Structure 1
């Protein structure tokens, strides 16, 4: 088996998570989080639509982690983001973190917002 090192350039991958926290690019963040090319910051959850709308110029798709289990996004949230021209994919937070890391390693324009598990 051959292993290849992944290079993320300036982007910060999700390195770990646990009950109530995420570790992104060496930084531990408690509670909901956004990871994007512009940096890592806390997020106010589904009601904080403005923070996600601010990502439309940096990302072609936003992965939204809904916690430990997959859940539907509020329709208003999905509609506002899609109307702004960005793709939205909802999945469990662990799946969102993995998908984000893979596409980040490919140099894709992605952002991530996650609720803790």
Structure 2
């Protein structure tokens, strides 16, 4: 039997983070970040859903990092994404980065939206 590796994206892993920044794929980005199949870009927070909605049909799950501690996300933010059939998993930003990296290494259809720690 021949096995082929399936790769859905060229997304880069989170290599590190600290107060106010993330290092993703060798690039340091200040502030909140979106990482996924379209690369890495700054994120305007929970009111900035346009780019995330554009991932409809291209990802199955969005990991949302709420900063140093887990916190509730706005209900309308979650509702907008779930209407587009994007699953939303909320956790602290460090946990979201770790989970994103593991599932990214498995070739899963995912993205990350994180607030800095």
Same fold (TM over 0.5): yes
Q: CA-to-partner distance for each residue in 1:5-45, whole Å, 9 max, x for gaps? A: xxxx7320000000000000001000000000111000000
Q: TM-score, structure 1 length as denominator? A: 0.90
CA distance, structure 2, for counterparts of residue 45 and residue 99 of structure 1: 20
Show structure 1 runs of 5+ residues with no match.
1-8
Q: CA deviation at 1:56?
A: 1.9
Q: TM-score, structure 2 length as denominator? A: 0.90
CA distance, structure 1, for counterparts of residue 90 and residue 51 of structure 2: 16
Q: CA-to-partner distance for each residue in 1:75-102, whole Å, 9 max, x for gaps? A: 0000010011110001000000000000
Moved more, 91-100 or 54-63: 54-63
Moved more, 55-64 or 12-21: 55-64
Indicate the residue corresponding to 1:4 in structure 2: none
State the secondary structure of the residue aligned to 1:64. Answer: strand
Give 1:38-57 correspondences, 5 Å limit. 38-57=38-57
Show structure 2 runs of 5+ residues with no match.
1-8
State the secondary structure of the residue aligned to 1:113. Answer: strand
State the secondary structure of the residue aligned to 2:89. Answer: strand
Indicate the residue corresponding to 2:5 in structure 1: none
Report how many aligned residue pairs link the two structures: 111
